[in-house]
Amino acid sequence: MKNLLTLLLICSSFLVHGQWIKEKGTGYLKLGGWSLLANKHFTDQGLTDPNSTRGLFINSIYGEIGIGKKINIIAYLPFFVKNYQYAQVPKTTGKVYEPRQEYNGLGDFNLGLEYGWGQLKNWKLSGSLILGIPSGESTAGSDGSYQTGDGEFNQLLQINLGKSYRINNQSFYLKSYLGYNNRTQGFSDEFHWFGETGTQLFNSNLLILSRLHWIKPLYNGTLDASNANGAIFANNIESFTLGGELAWSIGEKWGMALGTATPLFGKVIYKATSFSGGVFLIF
């Protein structure tokens, strides 16, 4: 799960849930697509190196549903993942020396619970536990690098904070979390920090937001990442990502969203901008 999460937060907002617990029987569903295409990556020293043009495309369903007065269930289900590489054609000869490759399959699912603890002064406070299920393929393609999952079961424990605030007459929100991701199968554990702020415009029909997300490995795993060349599911990935999203309501209960994100710096991760879009339902 984890490194798919990393890319989605280089990503987009599929796993960013709220600090405002939903009432029982209410919820949020999003059918989305996310795409990344990269021809360079950050090395394990934080430098930039070129790589063959690689891409990742993900179709997913994300949902949050209130099942009790203080409890939400959270699910992220990537039901279609395409990991691919363009054909390699030298300009000098024009002959294909390495054909296009791709692998399609399920991604790693994420299932979790969020519990609302109440107020901490002006902040909403909650805690969450998200489990990464290794439902994707951890070895695929001619060299095994066309994975749709990382093959490990992990547990991300978070403390979430959220509040509303005003600037002049405009209302904004702010939410943040601190998280610890316990990983298995030789992957390093990780520290997560996330912050997001946004506001509504045009009679609350348009939401505009920006976010930062930092993932810091603890380097306590056993898998080597020095030759990963930006591989999506490598060990010891570090990233500090800036992203934004626009979401507009089209009906009373549904709307559309577009987002983008880019890593400001990182290690063992692609250096490229990702794009996302989807439709959502609020019930």
pLDDT at 2: 44
The total domain count for the chain is: 1
pLDDT at 13: 42
> Counting beta carbons within 10 angstroms of the beta carbon of residue 30, is it exposed (0 to 12), middle (13 to 18) or buried (19 or more)?
buried
Please give the structure tokens belonging to residue 72: 């939400």
pLDDT at 145: 87
Helices assigned H by DSSP within the chain? 2-8
- CATH at residue 187: 2.40.160.40
pTM, to two decimals: 0.90
Q: What is the rounded CA–CA span in Å between residue 63 and residue 208?
A: 20
The answer to whether 199 and 170 have CB atoms below 8 angstroms apart is yes
Residue located via tokens 């997001």: 196
283 residues of the chain, pLDDT tens digit each? 444 444 444 444 444 445 578 889 999 999 999 999 999 999 999 999 999 899 999 999 999 999 998 999 999 999 999 999 988 776 677 677 778 899 999 999 999 999 999 988 889 999 999 999 999 999 888 888 899 999 999 999 999 999 999 999 999 999 999 999 999 999 999 999 999 999 999 999 999 999 999 999 999 999 876 555 556 788 999 999 999 999 999 988 999 999 999 999 999 999 999 999 999 999 9
DSSP 8: H
pLDDT at 231: 63
pLDDT at 27: 93
Please give the structure tokens belonging to residue 16: 């960013």
> Counting beta carbons within 10 angstroms of the beta carbon of residue 191, is it exposed (0 to 12), middle (13 to 18) or buried (19 or more)?
middle
* Number of alpha carbons in the 13 Å side-chain half-sphere of residue 89: 8
Q: Give the range of the structural domain holding residue 254, as residue numbers without chain letter.
A: 2-282
pLDDT at 225: 62
